[in-house]
Amino acid sequence: MSKTIQINPFNRVEGDLEIIVEVKDGIVQNAMSKGVMFRGFEIMLKGRDPMDAIVFTPRICGICGASHGLASATALRNAWRCEMPDNAYLVGNIVIAIENLMGHIIQFYVLFAPDLTNKKYASYPDYSEIIKRFFPFKGTSYLKAIQARPSMLELMGVFAGKWPNTLVFQPGGVTNSISMSRQTKAIGLLREIQDYIELSLIGCSIDRWLDNKSLHDLEQWLGEAEHYNSDMGTYIRYARALGLDTIGKGPGKFISYGAYEQPDNGTLFAAGYYDNGFYPFEQEKILEYIKYSFLKGYSGGLHPSEGITEPDPDKEGAYSWSKSPRYDNNVVETGPLARMILDNDPLIYDLFTKLGPSVFLRVLARLHEVVRLVRQLGIWLRGIDVRKPFYKKPKIPAETKGVGIIEAARGTLGHWISISDNRIKRCQIITPTAWNLSPKDSFDQHGPCEHALNGTSIEDEDNPIEVGHVVRSFDPCLVCTVHTIKL
């Protein structure tokens, strides 16, 4: 006997999402991820001055607006073939790292962890401790995460000027020159953030956590009392006890454009495509499909540089406003887990090879990235040379095109732009959630989250908490993916 479960709205995610799953004999089949609003930024930008893209696109999302600003500025920088000072790379990386850090912390404590307090788990020995730490608005760790946010926002203000909707990113660099006093202030604010991470999240020094290179190391780390009782230790123990390491596998294929661009054209975190082995990332292999999207204009797949975004709310067979991006026609996952795998991070990659992808590992990779970013922020902050420039004025051609692909908190974010007669002729944006929460494509392949849901066991159809774990492990952000409600 089968039952259809419709969750609408799917709460505690960014934006509007509907999830529909068919459950037969307790197993999810034919999951559907439905973006219920249309994003029209590609249409709004047509015919405008190219620099308007830097103003408009950060408004796509109040959570990762800086990432959109950087992707847009990078697309123009590549289109105009601008040079950029080393300081600008550092400031750009700092701003995005802070934004990603804030996103990861809030995602875990405010969006994901409250599901661990679900009544289904009341019989587990550690349940009272989970309630104490993670219960919404009252949990001790929940509140500490909120209280740590002002230091992160103040640090963001030092470099971005304001957030969200910063205009710090420009094709030739950044608009905010950092003085020695501001650099010193930033180092002090980072110390406050580091104290929070070390005392609350991991219960040890950052260096001690990063000494964990394998599953064996992680088990040894858990054996030490201060680690065992940290938020990280509590999550690791409890999530495995609940079986979160056995659900939400996903397609098992991953992409990352490479995070945090360096002046030598390399990236801090390696780029690539993973499919039972490591391969180079080639943006030419990206295609977007719209068979099940409320969009018209083409059949088959189009590269985003030739993308068409024309709404068709009455399209037969469609069920989402999101397109279906694919890499070499493969369903791929993006995000912190993808970044850590493709960077060959010793701990996450060892867990991946031994345990496979799962809800548990997807969330752990996000928290692990937090620790790595805090350490790297200290290196970047001290690397700024306040005596050197932060911006170089570009020469602007009238006809050109460019692409800006970066790694936002939730994964690979791409902006493609073509310019004619000093006006935007075409713009296409693919967000991380468009990858991860996409509907089926022209080959009827389910999107990554749908794929991860299919095959999931549901113990209580009236309390399908397993669906919540899987979906929230991807940290969906539908405001990035869709923008105008379907009437």
pLDDT higher than 50, residue 350: yes
Residue 79 pLDDT grade (very low, low, confident, very high; cuts 50, 70, 90): very high
Residue 247 pLDDT grade (very low, low, confident, very high; cuts 50, 70, 90): very high
pLDDT higher than 70, residue 55: yes
The mean-pLDDT minimum among 11-15, 129-133, 430-434, 442-446 falls in 11-15
Cα 62 → chain centroid: 13
Identify residue 22 by its one-letter amino acid code.
Answer: E
pTM, rounded to two decimals: 0.95
Report the chain's mean pLDDT, rounded to a whole number. 94
Q: Percent of the chain beyond pLDDT 70? A: 98
Contact 435, 331 (CB under 8 A): no
Q: How far apart are the C-alpha atoms of 81 and 27, rounded to whole Å?
A: 52
The mean-pLDDT minimum among 81-85, 106-110, 394-398 falls in 394-398
pLDDT attached to residue 39: 77
Residue 479 pLDDT grade (very low, low, confident, very high; cuts 50, 70, 90): low
Residue 14 pLDDT grade (very low, low, confident, very high; cuts 50, 70, 90): confident
First to last CA, the chain: 33
Q: What are phi and psi of 286, to 5 degrees?
A: -85, 130
pLDDT higher than 50, residue 486: no
Number of DSSP helices (H) and strands (E) in the chain, helices first = 18, 19
Task: Read off the pLDDT of each residue in 197-219 and give the average, rounded to a whole number.
Answer: 97
pLDDT attached to residue 198: 97
Residue 481 pLDDT grade (very low, low, confident, very high; cuts 50, 70, 90): low
Q: How far apart are the C-alpha atoms of 238 and 223, rounded to whole Å?
A: 15
Q: Percent of the chain beyond pLDDT 90? A: 89
pLDDT attached to residue 38: 85
Task: Read off the pLDDT of each residue in 78-102 and give the average, rounded to a whole number.
Answer: 96
Of residues 395 and 480, more confidence is placed in: 395
pLDDT attached to residue 487: 36
Check residue 161 and report its DSSP letter.
S
Residue pointed to by tokens 């006809």: 399
Task: Read off the pLDDT of each residue in 176-198 and give the average, rounded to a whole number.
Answer: 96
Task: Read off the pLDDT of each residue in 78-100 and give the average, rounded to a whole number.
Answer: 96
Task: Read off the pLDDT of each residue in 153-166 and give the average, rounded to a whole number.
Answer: 93
37 torsion bin: left (phi>0), alpha (psi -120 to 50), beta (else)? beta
Within 107-139, where are the H helices? 127-134
CB count in 10 Å sphere of residue 284: 8
464-474, pLDDT tens digit by residue? 999 999 999 99
281 torsion bin: left (phi>0), alpha (psi -120 to 50), beta (else)? beta
314 torsion bin: left (phi>0), alpha (psi -120 to 50), beta (else)? alpha
